[in-house]
Structure 1
């Protein structure tokens, strides 16, 4: 069996039929190439030669090397999905990834900014196209709870100023309509006045780089890190931290978990429920500080 050819065929299937993003495809490639190297090192001749015991040993080795429980879960998911494809194509009769579990990953609560920290971060001095763009990006991330990939994929036509809304394409190519807050609309208005001096040609991207083309995800991360330092924000500022803050603040004020799920674009409400734990943690901290019999006094 030509293992490289089968892997490329699988990636084409993911791209064309399941419409996976390039980021997802790169993750699948990396994980399955890792398995392929393990098979070659252990004289396993092709995908069909890999047994459940081999996958267990492979996973155990990855864990010993320091791979996190979450990364191993992703690794096993890639293996199972790949073998389902091989089964469907008649290239393999078994799925050696079934029934194998990853080490339990510790649940990490997302780090957020409180409302005052968000307000301080957003008060950046707008004096040119780059600062106007950065301000608009940060306001929009926090206003609508966007993922980083969703932000950079926005085009000019995706924003409706009259309706104060935007249409975004999220994971699984699913589109959703989101409200846009007044502060974000005002920041976007300022940015759009500066944008013609920065954009190259007829690029439809809402946010462009200093070179004039659609801004990259890495550039957005770097700009937020820059402003986090400039505004003396506690902890690292990154796009997902603003998304976490959006979700936490909205849930704390409304208590409507389903609405927050819809706004975030989560397919499973269990993903959104992490913010209920975050909200409880905040309440517990308040209780500890305020209740006269909450703690033993020193």
Structure 2
């Protein structure tokens, strides 16, 4: 017997698209999620829709816990990583929760589904002394080098995300200002602090920007064409700066954010303060940065515990 065309079988059921569209509008308009987050949810749900088409699901009520488990199993067999399976399950839980709220489902079929065990990778960080020495050594004065140094200093001084820095406008930075208001995930605003060297690097860049920015361009960081730097261009500038200065690591915005958080936590021990500076909604997200190196832990232990202090020779 000849099989039906895969493309036809993989189309989502007729009921599916309107329910997904309503949910995406809810994420955009009520939850005010970023375009990136909404697009990721849409991709995950469309994938589930194709699965429902293959499974001959004809109505929302036919989606039960077994369907959700079978979908995740199919994705795992297709080679999806545990992190991707976690994301699929999170997207489905949010969608079903919305449908229950809108009385289009009687219960959330994903609440009883356990996500696969996820091994949390420790963030890669840069040695603080190495990064500081490299920044202090980089004294070249052309506009491109000044821009690169300002980007590195700002990422490392504030722990900002790439999207947050990319969205900065020049009006956000007043003369001698030692703080910035940034808009993070969920359009939540927070204050980030500028170190003295970051402020100096930004001042140097502002002098260059005045001659480079297009008329009416609001962006703080602009390209040689005078328009806002793209996220890809920012990432490329960091990578090239690290290679040019012999840093010896692949430098990217999230690595600088990891380094900021780790170095702050190592030197302060204040997890909640670091949570606020990073803009994390939950403390559990910040706790991944508690991976202090063993030498640092041993030093803290020796210095702090009254029964651990090593006896000094007379």
Cα distance in 1 between the residues matched to 2:63 and 2:57: 7
* Residue-by-residue CA offset, 1:205-241 (whole Å, 9 max, x unaligned): 1112233222221211111111222222233111011
Q: State the structure with more CA Rg.
A: 2
Does 2:28 align with 1:15? yes
Moved more, 194-203 or 115-124: 115-124
Instruction: Tell me which stretches of 4 or more aligned residues in structure 1 moved more than 4 Å.
Output: 284-287
Residue 216 of structure 1 aligns with which residue? 230
Residue 127 of structure 2 aligns with which residue? 114
* Residue-by-residue CA offset, 1:124-154 (whole Å, 9 max, x unaligned): 4544332222211110000011111111111
Give me the TM-score of the superposition, normalised by structure 2: 0.85
Which of 25, 32, 42 is the equivalent residue of 2:45? Answer: 32
Distance 1:52 1:133, change over 3 A: same
Does 2:292 align with 1:249? no
Q: Which runs of 5+ in 1 are unaligned?
A: 288-298
Moved more, 60-69 or 123-132: 123-132
Cα distance in 2 between the residues matched to 1:5 and 1:125: 57
Give me the TM-score of the superposition, normalised by structure 1: 0.89
On the 8 A contact 2:151/2:238 being kept in 1, the answer is no
SS in 1 for 2:182: strand
Cα distance in 1 between the residues matched to 2:225 and 2:59: 46
Q: How does 1:175-190 map to 2 (within 5 A)?
A: 175-190=189-204
Does 2:173 align with 1:159? yes
Cα distance in 2 between the residues matched to 1:132 and 1:48: 59
Residue 57 of structure 2 aligns with which residue? 44
Residue 260 of structure 1 aligns with which residue? 274
On the 8 A contact 1:129/1:198 being kept in 2, the answer is no
Does 2:206 align with 1:192? yes
Q: Which runs of 5+ in 2 are unaligned?
A: 1-13, 301-314
